[in-house]
Amino acid sequence: MLLYHLYMNLLSDQVDQKEIDVITRELKRILDKDISGDVVEFGCYIGTTSVYLAKMLMPTTRELYVYDSFAGLPEKHVKDTSPLGEQFVAGELLASKKQFIKNIAQAGVTMPHIKKAWFADLSPIDVPTKISFAFLDGDYYLSVLYPLKLIEKCLQLGSTIVVDDYGNAALPGVAKAVDEWLLKHPTAQKRVEHSLAIIYVKR
Nearest to 43 by CA among 100, 128, 106: 100
Query: How much is the average pLDDT of 2-14?
Result: 48
Instruction: Centre a 10 Å sphere on the Cβ of residue 177 and count the other Cβ atoms it contains.
Output: 28
Please determine, for residue 10, whether its predicted confidence score (pLDDT) is greater than 50: no
Mark out the alpha helices in 38-171 (DSSP H runs).
48-57, 97-107, 141-151
Query: Is the pTM here over 0.85, yes or no?
Result: yes
Q: Is the pLDDT of residue 78 over 60?
A: yes
- Looking at residue 1, what is its pLDDT? 41
**Quick one: how far is CA 162 from the chain centroid?**
7
Please report, in angstroms and rounded to a whole number, the separation of the first and last CA atoms in the chain: 32
Q: Which domain holds residue 153?
A: 2-200
Residues 134, 197: contact at Cβ < 8 Å? no
SS3 state at 8: helix
Return the exposure string of 64-73: e unless at least 16 CB atoms fall within 10 Å of the residue's CB, then b: bbbbbbbbeb
At residue 172, the pLDDT reads: 96
| CB burial of residue 91 (10 Å; 0-12, 13-18, 19+) | exposed
Q: What's the half-sphere exposure (Cβ side, CA atoms, 13 Å) at 89?
A: 2
Q: Per the structure, how many domains does the chain have?
A: 1
Judged against a pLDDT cut of 50, whether residue 60 lies above it is answered with: yes
Angstrom distances, CA of residue 180 to CA of 144, 152, 201: 11, 13, 15
Q: What is the CATH number of the domain that holds 129?
A: 3.40.50.150
Nearest to 68 by CA among 96, 39, 103: 96
Locate the DSSP E strands across the chain.
38-42, 64-68, 113-116, 131-136, 155-163, 189-193, 196-200
pLDDT band at 95 (very low <50, low <70, confident <90, very high): confident
> 72: pLDDT confidence band, cut at 50, 70 and 90?
confident
